[in-house]
Amino acid sequence: MVGTPADSAEKIIIFDTTLRDGEQVPGSQLNTLEKIEVARALEALGVDVIEAGFPISSPGDFKSVVEISKVVDRPVISALTRAIEKDIDVAAEALKYAKKGRIHTGIGTSPYHIYSKFNSTPEQILERAVQMVKYAKKYVDDVEFFAEDAGRSDNEFLARVVEAVIAAGATVINIPDTTGYCTPYEYGAKIKYLKDNVANVDKAVLSAHCHNDLGMATANALAGIMNGIRQVECTINGIGERAGNTSLEEVVMILKCRKDIPAYTDIDTTKIIKTSRLVSNLMRMPVQPNKAIVGRNAFAHSSGIHQDGVLKNRENYEIIDPADIGVSDSSIVLTARSGRAALDHHLRRLGYELSHAELDVAYSKFLVLADAQKSVSDEDLRNLAGTGTVEDAR
Stated length of the chain:
394
User: Per CB under 6 A, does 51 bind ligand KIV?
Assistant: no
Strands 231-234 and 205-210: parallel
Q: How far is the CB of 210 from ligand KIV (least distance, A)?
A: 8
Which residue from 176, 224, 238, 244 is in contact with ligand KIV, where contact means CB under 6 A?
A: 176
The site partner of 174 among ligand KIV, Zn ion, none (C-beta below 5 to 8 Å per kind) is: ligand KIV
User: Per CB under 6 A, does 235 bind ligand KIV?
Assistant: no
Chain residue at closest Cβ approach to Zn ion: 21
Segment 3 to 22, residues that bind Zn ion, using CB under 5 A: 21
How far is 24 from 19, CA to CA, in rounded Å? 8
Which residue from 171, 178, 220, 235 is in contact with ligand KIV, where contact means CB under 6 A?
A: 178
Count of alpha carbons within 13 angstroms of residue 47, beta-carbon side:
30
Span near ligand KIV by CB under 6 A; candidates 171-179, 192-200, 213-221, 263-271: 171-179
- Assign 163 to helix, strand or coil: helix
How far is 88 from 61, CA to CA, in rounded Å? 14
Which residue from 209, 230, 301, 314 is in contact with ligand KIV, where contact means CB under 6 A?
A: 209
Q: How far is the CB of 217 from Zn ion (least distance, A)?
A: 10
Which residue from 15, 62, 145, 146 is in contact with ligand KIV, where contact means CB under 6 A?
A: 146
Segment 20 to 49, residues that bind Zn ion, using CB under 5 A: 21
Q: Which is nearer to Zn ion, 21 or 142 (CB)?
A: 21
DSSP, residue by residue, 214-231? TS-HHHHHHHHHHTT--E
How many residues bind to ligand KIV according to rule CB under 6 A? 8
Cα angle for residues 57, 17, 75 (degrees, 5° grid):
110
User: Per CB under 6 A, does 306 bind ligand KIV?
Assistant: no
How far is 99 from 43, CA to CA, in rounded Å? 13
Side chain identity, residue 281: N
User: Per CB under 6 A, does 265 bind ligand KIV?
Assistant: no
Cα angle for residues 234, 256, 278 (degrees, 5° grid):
45
Cα angle for residues 66, 67, 70 (degrees, 5° grid):
90
User: Per CB under 6 A, does 174 bind ligand KIV?
Assistant: yes
User: Per CB under 5 A, does 308 bind Zn ion?
Assistant: no
Q: How far is the CB of 178 from Zn ion (least distance, A)?
A: 6
How far is 69 from 73, CA to CA, in rounded Å? 8
Cα angle for residues 347, 353, 358 (degrees, 5° grid):
90
Q: How far is the CB of 390 from ligand KIV (least distance, A)?
A: 57
Which residues make up the interface to Zn ion (CB under 5 A)? 21
